[in-house]
Amino acid sequence: MSMSMPAARRGKPKIRPPRKNHNASKLSFEEHYRYAYNMVLFKHGDQLYTGVKQLVAEHLDSLAEERIVPAFPRSSGTHGAGKLGGGAEAVERAMEGDRFLKAVKGVWEDHTGSMRKLKDVLRYMIYEVGLTLFLTHIIRSPRHPIHTHLIATLLSQVQLERDGETITRSTVRECVDVLLRLTDDRDGKNVYLSDFEPEFLRRSGEFYRLEASEMLESGDAGLYLRNPILHMPGTGLAPMLDADRIADLRRLYVLFLRVPDDAGRLALRLALRGDIEERGKEINEGTKDEPGPSQNGEPGMDVDEDVKGKGKAKASGGATALASALRWVQDVLDLKDKFDRAFQSFINANPRAPEFLSLFIDEHLKKGTKADEIDAALEKTIVLFRFLADKDKFERYYKNHLAKRLLYARSASDDAEKGMVAKLKVEIGRRLTWQGSLGTADVKIRFKARSHDVNMSTHALVVLLLFDDDKDGEGLSYTDIKASTDMPDPELQRTLQSLALGKYRILQKAPKGRDVNPTDTFTFNDSFTCPLARFKIMQVVARVESAKEREETQEMVDEERRHQVEACIVRVMKNRKTMGHNELISEVAHQLSSRFNPSMALIKKRIEGLIDYLERTADIGTYRYLA
Partner 1 sequence: MSEEPDFVLLESADGYTFVVERRIACASGMLKSMLDEEAAFEEAKNKTCRIQQRGVVLLKVIEYLAYKVQYADFNTEDITEDFSDRIDPYIALELLTAADFLDT
Binding residues for partner 1 (CB under 8 A): 1, 4-7, 22, 24-30, 33-34, 37, 116-117, 120-121
d(CA 110, CA 231): 37
Nearer to partner 1, 174 or 470 (CB): 174
Question: What order of strands is seen across the sheet that includes strand 476-477?
Answer: 476-477, 521-524, 507-510
Q: Which is nearer to partner 1, 38 or 578 (CB)?
A: 38
> Based on CB atoms, which residue is closest to partner 1, 30 or 612?
30
Contacts for 471 with CB less than 8 Å, ≥ 6 apart: none
Residue placing its CB nearer to partner 1 in the complex, 18 or 317: 18
Phi, psi of 64 (to 5 degrees): -60, -45
DSSP 64: I
Q: Least distance in Å: CB of 32 to partner 1? A: 8
Q: Give the SS3 label for residue 442.
A: strand
Q: Cβ 4 to partner 1, closest distance in Å?
A: 7
User: Taking a C-beta distance cutoff of 8 angstroms, is the pair 154, 175 a contact?
Assistant: yes
The distance of closest approach from Cβ of residue 288 to partner 1 in the complex, given in angstroms and rounded to an integer, is: 36
d(CA 506, CA 483): 21
Nearer to partner 1, 33 or 253 (CB): 33
Q: How many CA atoms lie within 13 A of 316 on its CB side?
A: 7
The minimum distance between CB 48 and partner 1, in angstroms, equals: 16
CB of 178 to partner 1, least distance (A): 19
- What secondary structure, in 3-state letters, does 451-519 show? EEEEEEEHHHHHHHHHHHCCCCCCCEEHHHHHHHHCCCHHHHHHHHHHHHCCCCCCEEEECCCCCCCCC
Alpha helices in 123-245 (DSSP H): 127-134, 146-162, 169-181, 191, 197-218, 221-226, 237-242
Q: How far is the CB of 56 from partner 1 (least distance, A)?
A: 16
* 93 versus 117: smaller Cβ distance to partner 1: 117
Phi-psi region of 350 (alpha: psi -120 to 50; beta: other; left: phi over 0): beta
Compute the distance between CA of residue 18 and CA of residue 23 in angstroms, rounded to an integer: 10
> Is the Cβ–Cβ distance between 154 and 191 less than 8 Å?
no
Q: Which residues are bridge partners to 454 per DSSP?
A: 443, 535
Q: Which is nearer to partner 1, 31 or 551 (CB)?
A: 31
> Which amino acid does the sequence have at 52?
V
Q: How far is the CB of 37 from partner 1 (least distance, A)?
A: 6
CB of 40: closest distance to partner 1 in angstroms? 11
Spatial CB neighbours of 151, under 8 Å, sequence gap ≥ 6: 195, 196, 199
Min dist CB 112 to partner 1, Å, is 11
Supply the angle between the helices 489-500 and 458-468 in degrees, to the nearest 10: 70
Q: Which CB atom, from 2 or from 433, has the smaller least distance to partner 1?
A: 2
Q: Give min distance, CB of 44 to partner 1, in A.
A: 17
Closer Cβ to partner 1, 19 or 396, answer by number: 19
CB of residue 9 vs partner 1: minimum separation in angstroms? Answer: 11
Helix 169-181 vs helix 146-162: angle between axes, to the nearest 10 degrees? Answer: 140
CB nearer partner 1, residue 121 or residue 420: 121
- Cβ neighbour number for residue 12 with a 10 Å cutoff: 10
Whole-number Å distance between alpha carbons of 187 and 190:
9
Q: Give whichever of 44 and 99 is closer to partner 1, judged by the CB atom.
A: 44
User: CB–CB of 436/403 below 8 Å?
Assistant: yes
* Shortest Å distance, C-beta 27 to partner 1: 6
- Identify which of residues 6 and 531 has a Cβ nearer to partner 1 in the complex: 6
Task: Measure the CA–CA gap between 418 and 433, rounded to whole angstroms.
Answer: 12
